[in-house]
Amino acid sequence: MLVFLLGVIVVGGGWFAYQKFYASKFAAGEELEEQMMGHQSLTLYGAVDKYPVTMQINIDKSKVSGTYYYNKKGPDLVLTLRGSLNAEGFMYLDEYDEKGTRTGSFSGYLSNGEYEGEFVTNKGKRMHFLVK
């Protein structure tokens, strides 16, 4: 009986120590990891149709913002991006010029550091894009 009680005390003490010192640290680490997964900054290179571009996007959970420019014109002529990303990886971005006028939109899927889909100008011209 004494051995049984001693075993219960040792096991109970070990469980208490684990809960007090380790489990809370693991839970805090998981919570931080989940929060960090919601915040990403990506620099992507590729093309809209045959035109090389450089894109910088910032993802904060489902909200996306950023900029991009056509490499031929250089980083002095930057276009602004604002949009959203859903749980399935579908990202929609509106494009705005330096005056704040909406000039087009990107829609496609973001997966493994690649964003691919269709760019549509305000005049309705459709072009494939791929940046990674």
Residue 91: strand pairing partners: 85, 108
Give yes or no for residue 126 having a pLDDT over 80.
yes
Domain boundaries, the chain: 1-37, 39-131
- Which residues make beta-bridge pairs with 67? 56, 80
DSSP state of 21: I
Question: Among 26-35, 82-91, 101-110, whose mean pLDDT is lowest?
Answer: 26-35
Query: Where in 8-75 does DSSP place strands (E)?
Result: 39-48, 51-60, 63-70
pLDDT at 39: 81
Give the model's pLDDT for residue 112.
93
* Domain 39-131 architecture: Beta Barrel (2.40)
Is 49 a residue whose pLDDT tops 90?
yes
- For residue 128, the model assigns a pLDDT of 98
Element (H, E) at 32: helix 24-37
Lowest mean pLDDT across 20-24, 85-89, 119-123 = 20-24
pLDDT digits (tens, 9 = 90+) for 88-116: 999 999 999 999 999 999 999 999 999 99
* pLDDT at residue 52, rounded to an integer: 98
Which pair of tokens denotes residue 79? 């276009």
φ, ψ of residue 100 in degrees (nearest 5):
90, 10
Residues 99 and 96: their CA atoms lie apart, in Å, by 8
